[in-house]
Structure 1
């Protein structure tokens, strides 16, 4: 995490700002591209998109109550897969919004989608597959975790790209364990 001041801002905002965001509702953060976010081509460097997506996850997990559930049970999240698509470059000193949303889950993974928006146009997107692990490293079902926030919550139907990403990740991990 190389966005220390922004991390502190997100944590303070999550602590004292709007709370109890529904777990499947989108959460928004506003940022500005700083000169230090740019590469030699004068646009936001690729690695910054993933760093900002970390901030979006922290914000969503904190404000939805998911962070408290994970902490209370000694569970942690692990990134099992992540894809990034850049449609248009973000440049300094332009503002942008980061939208973070849980798109669904299956028995093994939580699927998060994030969009980098400027003037209501999608500039980039990140899709993250998260697994939840207990203290021993054993998998915890996302449904079990989310039921502690909202009993009986059901996963929205995963669109084909998300379902394909889950299946390809499972196949890849199965072949790696052989």
Structure 2
């Protein structure tokens, strides 16, 4: 239930908050680890990191105008791959910052990252590969989406680690265009 309240808070804040520009700039949200976020070892349960990542992506999509455009075009995004690395567990009642950023894209996948920061230190990182699909389930190149909200924006260069993640996703058959 506590995620429902956070979801509503993020949606309202994003809808009425400042516009996010440029689309590739990091967006930040502040949260606090609640007792209900903890597992039996008294740190934030692993699944919560992915749930918070969903909230970060939603915030960026709404504030950048991507959500509105996706809805107008009847396009949607689907996760094609995701990795999570935890360096140090977050514990209640400690605050943390979730930083969400579009790292770049290729001809089919949008690469997003979320970093969980506490006192400026990286506690965890989630990288998500997203594919854009039209209403007929046909892939839409990410550049087509980006061009409509920020024309002439090109993808930042993807690191070799992110390129390897994309290749791994395709090799494992998670890519829709096989």
* TM-score strictly above 0.5: yes
Structure 1: segments with no counterpart, 5+ residues? none
Residue aligning to 2:168: 168
Residue aligning to 2:83: 83
Assess, with a 3 A threshold, how the Cα gap between structure 1 residues 111 and 177 changes in structure 2: closer, same or farther. Answer: closer
1:75-127 deviations in whole A, cap 9, x for unaligned? 00000000000000000000000000000000010000110000000000000
Residue aligning to 1:115: 115
How many residues matched?
A: 178
> What SS is found at the alignment partner of 1:82?
strand
Structure 2: segments with no counterpart, 5+ residues? none
Task: For 1:26 and 1:153, locate their aligned partners in 2 and report how far apart those are by CA, in whole Å.
Answer: 15
1:51-81 deviations in whole A, cap 9, x for unaligned? 0000000000000111111111000000000
> What SS is found at the alignment partner of 1:154?
coil
Residue aligning to 2:73: 73
TM-score for the superposition, normalised by structure 1: 0.96
**Deviation beyond 6 Å, 4+ runs, structure 1:** 174-178
Deviation at 1:35, TM superposition (A): 0.2
Residue aligning to 1:22: 22
